[in-house]
Structure 1
C-alpha cells in the first residue's frame, strides 16, 4: 500500500462573523477556496496533473450547493479536466475530505489530490439547508436532535465539568491565540488585488475569568432539554446552563487546502514530502452526546501504531470548551501539547474548513519543533466524531 504524503498546506485566515458583516462576508466560500488553489498553482503545483479535489462543506446550500469544489476550480481557472466534489459530515467534513483523498492515494487510485474545506457562515448560516430533523418532532425524537449547545452542556454535566473550568479554558484559548506567531500556512485573502485579511480574527488578550463569569448561559432554558431527559432517564440537567457565548466556538469564514500525493507524484514534481497522513478513524456516540471523540482518537492512534505519549502536537477542535477538556482528561495528554495557539473558542470554527485548518496548523507547529506526530480530533452533531494522525518529517 502506498503512503499518502503531504506536499503543501494552505489556508485562509479565519474571519469572524459579525452583525452587519464581517471582514470576509463579501467573499463567497468558493472564492476563498479558489484563492488557495491559485496560490498552490503559483507555488508550482501542476494543476493539470491533479486527479481529484475533495472539499468538506458542512452546509451545502445556496451558493455552497451543487458542488462548491467544482465551482472553485472554475473560479481559480484551473483546467476544465480537473474533477472535484464535496463531502459533508457536519463539523468533521474537512477531516473526512482529507481521509478520502488519502484513501485514494494509498489505494493507488490517484497520485495527486487536493483536499480541505470551505465554509462561509456569514453568507450561508447554519440551518440554511433547512434540515427536517430540526423542524419535524418525530424525526427529532428519532435522532435525538437538540441544539448543539445543549449537547455541549449535556456532555459537560455528565462528565462533571464546572462553569468555572469551562470559562478558564476559554480564557486560556484567547490568551494563547493573542500571543500566537504568524502561521506559515496562511494565505492572505484579497479583493481586487488588495489584502483584506492576513491573520485569524477574534482573539481578545484582555479576556478574564471575572469577565466571563458575568456572562449569561446560552442553553440553560432551551426547551429541547426535555428531549435529553426523555432520551437519558435518570439524567439530572444542570440547574443553570454551563456554556456561554464565550465558551462556544466563534462563527467564522475560511477555506483550507492540503496537497496529498504518492511518492511518484512527489518525484514528478521535484518535491520532497513535508509529512504524511498516517491514519484516521470515525466513531459515534448516542446522540446528542459529544463524547465519542476520545474513542476516535484511540482508534486512530492504534492504527498508526503509536501511543498518546508519541504525539507532539494535538489540535482538538474547540467545539465548546468541554471538547478539549474532555479529550485531555480521557487521553491523558498534557495541556502543553493541545491547541497551543488557541482554537475555535477564540478564533473561530468555520465548520467544513476546520479539518484542513487543524492539519495546516499542526504541520506548521511540527515543522517548527523538528517534526513528529500530530493528532487532529473533531466531534460533531448527532454524536459523530473523527480523528486523524499525521506525521511531519
Structure 2
C-alpha cells in the first residue's frame, strides 16, 4: 500500500523578540508556547486521542527545555495521557529534523497521526546554556573546527565573493517584505489568563536603508576564533580575516516561538475528519567540513533528487536567514529566482527561534503555495558544525 506523509495543518506562535530588559514572551516557557499550539489543533477539530506521537525539535534541551519537552507540553495542553512525545536536537536544524522524523514514522507505518515541530525560548534558555563541549574544550574545538557562528558566516561570504553591500541589501529586503506581509493564517496568538500577549511577529523595522546599515560596525571582525577558521581553511587561500561582512542587521534576531505541524496518513486523516493540505515529499541531511556553513546546497540537491524534482519545479523557497549570506549564497548556487525566496521576509527581520524555525518555514511555505494554487516548496536550514537539513513539500491546490 502506498503511503504519503500528508500535512493536515501547520500552526505556530508569533516570534517574540528577545530583549535585554525582557521580551514580550520572556515570561512564557517554551512548553507553554507549544502547549498553546496543541490546544489550538484540538480546537480546530483534531481528536487528540488519535495522535500517535509528538516530536519536538529543541536546539538547547537543558533546564526547563530539558528532558522531554514534548511530553511536558502534552500534559500542559491537557491532552490524553496516552499520547507519547519525544525530542530531537540538531541545533538550528532541529525543527526540520523533527518534521522529517515525523514523516518517517508516517511513511514507515509507525503512526497514523503525528505532530512534529519545535519550540525554543531563547529569552529563558539562551544558546549554549547547555555548555556544549565543542565550544568549551579547546582541543575539541580544534578537532571540530568550531568558531563563532558569525565568523563562519563572514568566512562563507568571503569565500564565495559576497560583498557586505549585498548582505545589507538582503536585510533591507527582509524587513520590507515582513512589514508588507499580512499576519499569516498559521499564526496563533499567545494568550494567558484571557489576555493576548502577542498576536503577530515582532522585529521588523520600517524605514531601514542600505545607507544606514553601511554605517554599522562589523559584528565579528576581531573575534578570537578567526585564527582557527583561517587555520582550518588555509587551503582556501585566505591569509587574514576579511573585513567583517555581517553586522547586527545581517545576523538573525533572537526570538521565542513554537511551531506544530500535523502529519498523517489518508486513513488517519479520515478517522479524524481532516482534509490534507499537502504532503512531505522528501528530506535530506548534509554536512561539510566545519566551520563551513555551505552544506545547504548539498542538502537541497539531495532532497530534490529524492523527490525527482529540479529547481525549476520549485514555486516557493524558504531559506532560513541564519545570516544574510545564507539565502544570498544558496539562491545563487541553486539558481532560484530571488522573488521566490522568503517572500514574507525572514529571520533577519523577525527572528530565528532555533528549534521552532523549521515548523515556521513549513507553515509559511504551505501558506505561500496555497496563495498560488499549490505546487512544490523547498525549505533549507544550515547549522553550526557544518550541518544542514532540507525538506521538500507539496501543497495541494
Summarize deviations over 1:291-336 as a string: whole Å, max 9, x none. Answer: 1101111110111111111111100000100000011100001001
Shift of 1:239: 3.8
Residue 71 (structure 2) aligns with: 70
Alignment counterpart, residue 344 of structure 2, candidates 341, 346, 358: 341
Alignment counterpart, residue 316 of structure 2, candidates 313, 317, 329: 313
Shift of 1:229: 1.4
Residue 214 (structure 1) aligns with: 215
Alignment counterpart, residue 329 of structure 2, candidates 295, 308, 326: 326
Summarize deviations over 1:48-69 as a string: whole Å, max 9, x none. Answer: 1110000000000110001111
Q: What's the RMSD between the two structures over aligned residues?
A: 0.8
Separation in 2, partners of 1:196, 1:375 = 32
Question: Which has the larger displacement, 231-240 or 214-223?
Answer: 231-240
1:276 aligned counterpart, secondary structure: strand
Q: How does 1:54-93 map to 2 (within 5 A)?
A: 54-93=55-94
Is 1:128 the counterpart of 2:129 in the alignment? yes
- TM-score, L = length of structure 2: 0.98
Is 1:378 the counterpart of 2:381 in the alignment? yes
Separation in 1, partners of 2:346, 2:84 = 32
Q: Is the 8 A contact 1:373 1:392 kept in 2?
A: yes
How many pairs were matched up? 393
Give 5+ residue unaligned stretches, structure 2.
Answer: none
Is 1:188 the counterpart of 2:223 in the alignment? no
Shift of 1:238: 4.1
Question: CA 1:272 to 1:168, structure 2 compared with 1: closer, same or farther past 3 Å?
Answer: same
Separation in 1, partners of 2:261, 2:381 = 17
Separation in 2, partners of 1:210, 1:189 = 36
1:253 aligned counterpart, secondary structure: strand
1:362 aligned counterpart, secondary structure: helix
Residue 392 (structure 1) aligns with: 395
Separation in 2, partners of 1:135, 1:271 = 48
Alignment counterpart, residue 272 of structure 1, candidates 272, 275, 293: 275
Separation in 1, partners of 2:37, 2:360 = 12
Residue 362 (structure 2) aligns with: 359
Residue 172 (structure 1) aligns with: 173
Q: Is the 8 A contact 1:157 1:238 kept in 2?
A: no
Shift of 1:270: 2.1
Separation in 2, partners of 1:263, 1:37 = 21
Q: Is the 8 A contact 1:203 1:346 kept in 2?
A: yes
Summarize deviations over 1:170-192 as a string: whole Å, max 9, x none. Answer: 00101010111120100000011
Shift of 1:230: 1.3
- TM-score, L = length of structure 1: 0.99
Q: Following TM superposition, where does structure 1 have runs of at least 4 consecutive aligned residues deviating by more than 4 angstroms?
A: none
Give 5+ residue unaligned stretches, structure 1.
Answer: none
